Structure formats: structure tokens, C-alpha cells
């Protein structure tokens, strides 16, 4: 909840909110403005242009600076495949060490041979990372076609978050230029990934690097943020990136939590619209506009 200046508004009371599900007003059963610890996947685009990659590398230490002692984070990368890191940790020194050792490739994605990563997310029983082919010749890059699997990466990150403690806010910090391959690159389709995010209460906070804005490639970053209840930010330089990391952590941690038992709606359908209104004027409400109540969706291939 923000005012016209973009500042967080922390003094709203339960009676200032109204919640509608499928256009039916609901009784608010739980309301709190308490800060919750974060479970964060730091999802780094491993195939950025050299200038973007350099700015991101130099800014990464600031990610840890925005975390509280109770927050936990997990560093992952993606290009053609999803690359999980060392796992969740609340140890800031370990996170800093891993971030400092994280090498972001700035060359076109190349499928790499090697063993599968243990405990990696799976899609219909198959690795979400994929079996990297054995490359014996130079990679051919087709002009204008991205080889990045952004959809698969967001799904892989969501799988790692799904079982984290319910008393934590679950979010994906997606730092990317927004380029995304098509059906031949991604095993997952967008709708199935969004259903997973909604089902497991995972928000995506997208940070678009400079070339995403200049080349107008940020639509996927906007869509994931909007449809999951998160936010999208644009960063043209390293200093902007560093400022955004702390801002995102603070906004994600300090949210109003509103819960209700659905009444008067059709429980036979899987997707329900949600609208939150506030009586105080001049405020901007940021929340997901629907939720998914069906079984956890399986990975749907393109």
C-alpha cells in the first residue's frame, strides 16, 4: 500500500479495507500489518549483455544488505537451463561469498554437458534443468531468437519455494533483460507457471536491466510481477540496482495480511477473482487479482 509519493502506508486498520471475491464481498477473518521474514530466490539471468552483466555483478552485494537476520535466500541462475545454487541460508556471510563467486556469463547461451544437479526441480518427473547435450562443435545462434528459458526458470524457483514455512513471505527476485525463448526452449508455458505462483502464494519482483527497457523486451517481467502480486522495476545503472534491492525487500516484508473464508462463491471453479478496496483516498493498492484453488498444477509443456 503506497501513497501518491510512493511511500509505504503502515497505519491502515482492518475497518478501512473491503475484500471482494468473484464480486461478492467477504468478511475479513484475519488482519495483520506485522512484518514477516522472507524466503527469497535470487534468480539471476546468466546470459546478459556485457554492460548489463557488469552492472549486475557489481550490485549483487547490495542484495544481502537489504535482508534482515531472519530472512533466508537461495541464489539461482538461468540461461538455457535452470541452475540452483547452494540452497537456502540465513547466513549473510555465506550469501555474500556465494554472490561474489557467482559468475554471470555474458556470451550467448551454450548447452553444457555434465551431471544433473542433485535435488533440482522436476517437470512431470523429468529434470527442469534438462539433459545438456554433448557439444562437439560451435554453437549456432540464430539472429533474433532467444535461447533463454525464463518460464522454466521461474517455475524451477517456485518449486524450491513451495514448501517453505507458511509464516514467511515467498518471493522471487528476478533480475533479467526479459528475453525469453519460445516453445522449443521452455518446457513450461506461462499460464501453468502463473497457476503455480498463485497456488503457492509466491510473488515475483522483477528488476529489468537497462537493455530490457531500451530494446522493449520487458513484457514477461511485467506480466509475472503483475499476475503474482509483485512489482516490476527498471534499473539503468548499478546505483539504481542497489537502491532497488533494499526497497524490494522492505516492501515484500512489510505488507498487510488479509485472510478470509470464502462465502457465497462457486467453490467448484478453480480460479477466483479478488478485489481489495480501501476507504482512504489517494492510495495505490498492489495485490494479486485472483487466486488458484485447484490441485497444484503439473508442469504443462508448450
- pLDDT, tens digit (0-9, with 9 covering 90-100), for 247-278: 888 888 777 888 999 999 998 888 899 999 99
Question: How does the average pLDDT of the chain come out, rounded?
Answer: 81
Q: Which pLDDT tens digit goes with each residue over 110-151?
A: 443 333 333 444 433 333 433 333 323 333 333 345 689 999
CA distance 212 to 210: 5
Look at the pTM and tell me if it is higher than 0.85. Answer: no
User: Are 230 and 204 within 8 A, CB to CB?
Assistant: yes
8 Å CB contact between 178 and 219: yes
Could you give the domains of the chain? 36-109+121-130+144-256 (3.40.50.410)
For residue 207, the model assigns a pLDDT of 92
Is the predicted pLDDT of residue 106 greater than 80, yes or no? no
| pLDDT tens digits, 58-81 | 888 888 888 999 999 999 999 999
- Separation between Cα atoms, residue 19 and residue 274, nearest integer Å: 7
Q: What per-residue confidence (pLDDT) applies to 118?
A: 37
Amino acid at each position: 500500500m503506497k501513497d501518491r509519493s510512493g511511500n509505504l502506508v503502515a497505519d491502515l486498520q482492518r475497518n478501512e479495507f473491503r475484500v471482494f471475491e468473484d464480486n461478492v464481498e467477504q468478511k475479513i477473518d484475519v488482519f495483520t500489518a506485522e512484518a514477516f521474514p522472507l524466503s527469497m530466490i535470487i534468480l539471476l539471468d546468466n546470459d546478459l549483455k556485457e554492460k548489463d552483466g557488469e552492472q549486475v555483478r557489481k550490485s549483487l552485494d547490495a542484495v544481502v544488505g537489504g535482508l534482515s537476520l531472519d530472512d533466508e535466500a537461495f541464489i539461482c541462475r538461468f540461461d538455457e537451463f535452470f541452475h540452483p545454487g547452494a540452497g537456502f541460508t540465513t547466513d549473510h556471510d555465506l550469501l555474500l561469498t556465494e554472490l561474489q563467486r557467482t559468475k554471470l556469463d555474458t556470451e550467448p547461451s551454450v548447452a553444457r554437458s555434465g551431471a544433473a544437479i542433485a535435488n533440482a526441480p522436476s517437470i512431470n518427473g523429468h529434470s527442469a534443468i534438462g539433459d545438456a547435450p554433448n557439444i562437439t562443435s560451435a554453437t549456432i545462434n540464430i539472429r533474433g531468437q532467444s535461447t533463454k528459458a525464463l518460464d522454466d526458470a521461474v517455475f524451477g524457483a517456485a518449486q524450491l519455494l513451495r514448501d517453505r514455512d507458511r509464516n514467511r513471505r515467498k518471493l522471487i527476485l528476478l533480475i533479467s533483460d526479459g528475453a525469453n525463448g519460445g516453445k522449443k526452449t521452455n518446457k513450461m508455458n506461462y499460464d501453468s507457471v502463473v497457476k503455480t505462483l498463485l497456488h503457492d502464494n509466491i510473488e515475483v519482483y522483477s528488476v529489468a536491466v537497462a537493455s530490457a527497457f531500451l530494446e522493449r523486451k520487458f513484457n514477461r517481467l511485467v506480466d509475472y510481477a503483475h499476475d503474482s502480486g509483485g512489482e516490476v522495476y527498471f534499473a539503468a545503472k548499478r546505483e539504481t540496482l542497489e537502491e532497488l534491492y533494499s526497497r524490494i525487500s522492505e516492501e515484500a516484508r512489510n505488507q498487510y495480511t488479509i485472510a478470509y473464508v470464502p462465502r457465497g462463491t462457486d467453490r467448484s471453479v478453480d480460479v477466483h477473482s479478488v478485489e481489495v478496496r480501501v476507504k482512504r483516498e489517494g492510495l495505490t493498492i498492489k495485490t494479486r487479482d485472483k487466486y488458484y484453488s485447484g490441485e497444484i498444477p503439473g508442469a504443462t509443456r508448450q
